[in-house]
């Protein structure tokens, strides 16, 4: 199944523009009426200190749960995996729901817990 990475800054902008509705772990693009389940994730931007990338994570997106499974430490805009520190961008992985699917719940503002 296709997955979509959405940065926290993009979610914030869409929310401010009333382009999305977030209920629990479901985000709906209001104009398109398309819904996605979302989960916190990071995108690996660079290795801190301009070191090599021994784990080949640059440009990759990992869910926060995947980081925990790897034994990586995630704090704010960085991830430490084994001996390598990475600068990351926080965001979400979105997985499309079937057209017309819209899970109930109270609307919330998107944000990282």
User: What are the Cα distances from residue 3, in Å, to 55, 78, 82?
Assistant: 22, 22, 27
Query: Which of 40, 16, 51 has the alpha carbon at shortest distance from 90?
Result: 40
The full DSSP string for 13-50 is HHHHTT-EEEETTEEEETTTTEEEEEEEEEEEEEEGGG
What is the pTM for the complete model shown? 0.82
Residue-range domain boundaries for the chain: 4-97
List per-residue pLDDT tens for the chain, 113 residues long: 689 999 999 999 999 999 999 999 999 999 999 999 999 999 999 999 878 999 999 999 999 999 999 999 999 999 999 999 999 999 999 999 998 665 544 444 555 44
Place of tokens 């990759």: 60
């Amino acid at each position: 199944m296709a997955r979509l990475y959405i940065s926290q800054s993009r979610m914030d902008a869409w929310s401010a523009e009333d382009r999305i509705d977030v209920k629990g772990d479901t985000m709906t693009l209001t104009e398109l009426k398309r819904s996605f389940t979302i989960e916190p994730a990071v995108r690996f931007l660079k290795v801190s200190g301009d070191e090599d990338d021994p784990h080949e994570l640059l440009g990759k997106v990992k869910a926060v749960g995947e980081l925990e499974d790897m034994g990586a430490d995630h704090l704010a805009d960085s991830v430490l995996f084994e001996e390598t520190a990475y600068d990351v961008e926080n965001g979400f992985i979105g997985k499309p729901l079937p057209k017309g699917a819209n899970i109930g719940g109270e609307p919330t503002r998107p944000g990282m817990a």
